[in-house]
Amino acid sequence: MNTIPPKGHRIAKYAFKLPSDAKRIKVEARLNYMSHDQAVADKLLGKGAVKVPMVETKALARAYGADLKAIEAPQKLSRR
């Protein structure tokens, strides 16, 4: 599930394999807000009657070295 309940939180873990010769990896995370799901709006009002806006509330990036230790402080990303 990719939603966070009102006044709640959700912790997620992601795993992926890096190439054996990787020297650095940059991770970007973006938190988006939608007042309700597009599928709900389509079901209640008819498909395409309204487009539910998505607002980016937070976006951070951090780079890590091959040893997975952070090599730079978190950076705010520009909003899309």
For tokens 């007042």, the residue is: 35
Contacts by 64-73, CB closer than 8 A, 24 or more apart: 64/24, 64/25, 64/26, 64/27, 65/23, 65/24, 66/22, 66/23, 66/24, 71/24
pLDDT attached to residue 59: 92
pLDDT in tens, 31-40: 888 888 899 9
Bridge partners for 55 per DSSP: 33
**Strands lying side by side in the sheet with 75-76:** 24-33, 55-65, 75-76
- pTM higher than the cut 0.85: no
Is it the case that residue 66 has pLDDT exceeding 70? yes
